């Protein structure tokens, strides 16, 4: 049977491959079956389409030179990177992660949202990244966008928690920005909460429910999910007429791309410093290690892209 299967031409195999979309686990398993199938899967575009149909993109790798905001009011933080992982390795990470992650919901982080993408692929639109104004009419943000960036209940919001976000940040719109919105701005509860964002960048431990995905970059299943449906290559945030932040990824903005861009807007102030330091101290105490040992340990865990830097980590070392 196996020999009959392998005698099929590559074109037939690829047609069968199409029916496996978007089952990433199946692709990973089949590609490891034999040399022939490994060769078929050598084309990274196959992995790219498989990831896409499962609702996953490839976050931009953070590079020091790109973390400098450009002059002016717009903050263009990320660009393309030569260091980005292959789509094949992204697929492998997505499949392997649930067996190591302690957060149960992480495994299912993208299940409901991924259904959107299966529809697109079935319709023959494999990689649409609309940049036209029509997209603004039906763009949908991933539920994780709200879960990670907003206070869970409005009663938890404090004056300091909202300090630091530059201006008012309405729901992003694809670029080029459509004409100024005719609808009134959403209520303040829709403003991303800096404290929630900060917690997604700090290390976490199993008991901490408030920092479930912290740091987010250690969870490819959450990080790689497209931030919107359909995926867009640019998201713009700002007040009417002004842009305070843009998130750009030519392969489609992911949850991690948006998360990191929003984090750039968190003020480096005493309030957030205090939250971060208290978090580090609590983690060190719970782990039974010194601050120096903790700093050494967590600074070696830089996320699946190998580029994460922990907020205020230098201050932690100074106190250790
Ligand atoms: Zn996870």
pLDDT confidence band for 160 (50 / 70 / 90): very low
CA 261, CA 56: separation in Å to the nearest integer? 18
Q: Where are the domains of the chain?
A: 2-42, 64-268
Q: Which of 24-33, 78-87, 218-227 is predicted with the least confidence, judged by mean pLDDT? A: 78-87
Number of H helices, E strands in the chain: 15, 5
Average confidence score pLDDT of the chain = 76
Closest CA to 233 of 216, 220, 246: 246
Burial annotation 132-169 (CB, 10 A radius, 16+ → b, else e):
eeebbeebebbebbebbbbbeeeeebeeebeebbbebb
Instruction: Quote the tokens at residue 233.
Output: 């290559």
- CA triple 53-57-61, angle to 5 deg: 165
Q: What percent of the chain has pLDDT over 70?
A: 72
The sign of the torsion formed by the CA atoms of 25, 28, 31, 32 equals negative
CA 190, CA 320: separation in Å to the nearest integer? 38
pLDDT confidence band for 122 (50 / 70 / 90): low
Residue 97 CA to ligand 1 center (angstroms) comes to 6
DSSP conformational letter for 86: P
Is pLDDT above 50 for 187? no
Residue 99 CA to ligand 1 center (angstroms) comes to 9
DSSP conformational letter for 226: B
For the entire predicted model, the pTM comes to 0.80
pLDDT digits (tens, 9 = 90+) for 259-283: 999 998 887 788 889 999 999 998 8
pLDDT at 207: 61
Which residues are found with C-beta within 5 Å of the ion, ligand 1? 101, 103, 106, 219
- Report the pLDDT averaged over residues 42-54: 91
pLDDT confidence band for 125 (50 / 70 / 90): low
Residue 28 CA to ligand 1 center (angstroms) comes to 19
pLDDT digits (tens, 9 = 90+) for 211-270: 788 899 999 999 999 998 888 888 888 777 788 888 888 889 999 999 999 998 887 788
Residue 272 CA to ligand 1 center (angstroms) comes to 25
pLDDT digits (tens, 9 = 90+) for 92-116: 999 999 998 888 888 888 888 887 7
Residue 212 CA to ligand 1 center (angstroms) comes to 9
Q: Which of 147-151, 187-191, 277-281 is predicted with the least confidence, judged by mean pLDDT? A: 187-191
Is pLDDT above 50 for 5? yes
């Amino acid at each position: 049977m196996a020999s009959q299967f392998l005698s099929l031409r590559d074109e037939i195999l690829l047609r069968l491959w199409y029916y496996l979309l978007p089952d990433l686990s199946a692709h990973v398993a089949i590609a490891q079956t034999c040399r022939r199938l490994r060769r078929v899967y050598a084309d990274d575009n196959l992995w790219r389409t498989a990831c896409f149909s499962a609702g996953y993109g490839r976050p931009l790798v953070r590079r020091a030179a790109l973390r400098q905001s450009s002059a002016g009011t717009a903050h263009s933080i990320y660009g393309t990177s030569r260091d980005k992982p292959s789509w094949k390795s992204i697929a492998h990470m997505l499949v392997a992660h649930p067996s190591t992650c302690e957060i149960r919901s992480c495994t299912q982080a993208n299940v409901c949202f991924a259904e959107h993408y299966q529809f697109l692929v079935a319709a023959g639109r494999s990689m649409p990244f609309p940049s036209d104004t029509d997209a603004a009419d039906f763009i949908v943000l991933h539920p994780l966008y709200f879960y990670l960036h907003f206070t869970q209940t409005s009663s938890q919001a404090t004056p300091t928690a909202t300090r630091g976000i530059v201006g008012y940040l309405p729901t992003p719109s694809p670029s080029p920005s459509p004409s100024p919105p005719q609808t009134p701005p959403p209520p303040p509860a829709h403003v991303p909460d800096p404290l929630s964002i900060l917690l997604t960048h700090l290390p976490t431990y199993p008991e901490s429910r408030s920092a479930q995905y912290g740091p987010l970059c250690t969870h490819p299943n959450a990080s790689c999910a497209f931030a919107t449906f359909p995926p867009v290559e640019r998201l713009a945030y700002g007040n009417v007429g002004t842009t305070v932040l843009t998130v750009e990824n030519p392969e489609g903005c992911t949850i991690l791309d948006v998360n990191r861009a929003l984090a750039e807007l968190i003020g480096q102030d005493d309030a957030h410093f205090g939250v971060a330091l208290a978090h580090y101290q609590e983690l060190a105490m719970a782990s039974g290690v010194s601050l120096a040992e903790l700093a050494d340990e967590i600074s070696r865990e830089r996320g699946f892209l190998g580029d994460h830097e922990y907020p205020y980590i230098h201050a932690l070392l100074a106190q250790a």
